Amino acid sequence: MNLPTGNQQRDAGTNSAVRPKPMAGSLAAALVASLCCGGSLLFASIGLGGLYSTLGLFRYVPQFLAAGTLTIVAINWLYYRHLAEQTGPSCDGAHLRRAMYLSTFLGLVALAGSFVVLEWLNHAVVNAARFMSRPEYAYALIPGVLNQNLVYAALSLVGVGLVRVLPFPARPVPEARPAHAETMPTTQG
C-alpha cells in the first residue's frame, strides 16, 4: 500500500493554493529579466556603470522580456505538472491548473511591473536631464518609458495563454460500459 509522504499529503490537501517555490522562482526570474533596463542603476551603484554601457544590454529589451516570460512559464508548468503526476489520480487537476495559472500570472505581472518601474526610475528620475529632453520619452504614455517598451511589457502577459495550451496531466476517466452489454446474447458460430 502506497501511502503519501508528508510533503505529498500537504500538497494534496491544499490543491488550490499557490505554492511558494514556483512563486519565488517566478519573482526571481522577473527581477533578473527586468534588469536589462534598471541594470544601469545597479551597475552604477557598485561602480561598474561603464561596463554596463559597454555591454549595451539596453538594446535587447524584447529578448530579455521574452526570455523572462518563457522562464516564468517553464518554472510554473514544470513544477505543477510534476506535482500533478506525483499526487496521482486522487488529485483534482483543475485546482492545480488554477494555481498554476495564478502563479504564472502573478510572475508575469511582476516581470512587467518591475520592468516598467525600473525603466521609469532610470529614465524619468535618475537620468531625467538626459532622457526627458527627448520627445519620445517626455511625451510617452508613462513619461520616461518608451511606448514600444510598454507594448513589450504588455506582450509578456501572453505567457498565461502559453501555459494554457501546454499539456497537463488529467485525471484518468473510467471507461463507460453500455448498460445493455450484460443482457445481450452472444452468438457462437
pLDDT digits (tens, 9 = 90+) for 179-189: 555 555 566 65
The arithmetic mean of pLDDT across residues 51-58, rounded, is: 78
End-to-end Cα separation, the chain, in angstroms:
45
pLDDT digits (tens, 9 = 90+) for 97-149: 899 999 999 999 999 999 999 889 988 888 888 889 999 999 999 999 999 99
Give residue 3's pLDDT band: very low, low, confident or very high (50, 70, 90).
very low
pLDDT of residue 2: 44
Q: What is the DSSP string of 81-114?
A: HHHHHHHGGGS-HHHHHHHHHHHHHHHHHHHHHH
Give residue 171's pLDDT band: very low, low, confident or very high (50, 70, 90).
low
- Flag whether 2 is in a domain: no
Of the candidates 61, 82, 33, which has an alpha carbon nearest to the alpha carbon of residue 148? 61
Which residue in this structure is represented by grid cell 503519501? 4
pLDDT of residue 47: 80
Q: Is the CB of residue 37 less than 8 Å from the CB of residue 61?
A: yes
What is the domain range of residue 75? 18-166
Number of domains in the chain: 1
Of the candidates 149, 113, 118, which has an alpha carbon nearest to the alpha carbon of residue 43? 118
pLDDT of residue 48: 76
pLDDT of residue 84: 85
- Flag whether 90 is in a domain: yes
- Flag whether 183 is in a domain: no
Q: Is the CB of residue 123 less than 8 Å from the CB of residue 41?
A: no
Report the alpha-carbon distance of residue 145 to residue 40 in Å, rounded. Answer: 15
Taking the mean position of all CA atoms in its chain, how far away is CA 63?
15
**Which has the minimum average pLDDT: 60-74, 82-96, 134-148?**
82-96
Report the alpha-carbon distance of residue 9 to residue 141 in Å, rounded. Answer: 49
- Flag whether 13 is in a domain: no
**Which has the minimum average pLDDT: 68-72, 80-84, 127-131, 172-176?**
172-176
Q: What angle do CA 56, 53, 159 make, to 5 degrees?
A: 45
